[in-house]
Amino acid sequence: MTCSSILITGASSGIGAALARRYAGPGVRLTLWGRDAVRLAAVADACRAKGATIDVACFDLADLDRLTAELTAADQASPLDLAILSAGLGGSLPARPAGQDAAAVRAMAAVNFTAPVVMANLLADRMAARSAGRLVFIGSLAAAFPLPMAPLYAGTKAGLTVFAEALAIRLRPFGVGVTLVSPGFVDTPMSQSLSEPRPFLISADAAAAAIAAAVARGTGHLVLPWPFALLRALSGLLPRRLLLAILSGINRRFSR
């Protein structure tokens, strides 16, 4: 897939920033969104140095009015071939309190689920009218597991996974592709905040390379790194009661 106009959310750090640097080059127009103005500017400068044309916007995706206005303007200025919805909030919870702060709940639900769903629906119509384009959702391996140390994060990613899979079926007749990415542990600021072990950790650049290759192939679902693809498949063979018992044991261990 040849992409000349690309939107990347969450482009100020982590996987989003690594993808921006990977796609940057002559003839490519990158629209980069992020919340950290200083880091976003640094990523934009690095991409310009590689010959790309750069548009940036620094705002909170939870502001849905601005989100829709910015997205409409970006697609009108340069019809998007590829939209990578990488922005996300995460992190595991401490043992106490049992619940999560209401403001944090609203923010995570908005950024992890509501914003990408709003963006995808707006772009679905526009891309379908052009009979071309691809939407990429950065989900999480957590979507496959009811993680007691991160119930909201797992829930938002599970919702995003089902949405992406359903949207892929809906858009196929219109010539629009969907790629869902389910990463395990990637060395990003989000994962660096975790207190739990991070097995099979890969760099953001390695993740970006795998994602770009999957997009080029037209892959529908990418689980990375590969050991987690195997783990996800094997966990699906376990009786649900056994899986929940295992997760309960993990929760007791990290709640001490």
Active-site residues, by number, are 153
**Angstrom distance (rounded) from CA 157 to CA 138:** 9
Cα 209 to the center of its chain, rounded Å: 15
**Angstrom distance (rounded) from CA 145 to CA 143:** 6
Helices (H), the chain: 14-23, 37-49, 64-77, 102-109, 115-130, 151-171, 189-192, 204-217, 226-235, 240-254
Distances (CA, A) of 80 to 29, 126, 131, 136, 188: 9, 9, 12, 12, 26
CB atoms within 10 A of CB 236: 10
**Angstrom distance (rounded) from CA 189 to CA 187:** 7
State both tokens at 177: 């592709």
**Angstrom distance (rounded) from CA 11 to CA 35:** 9
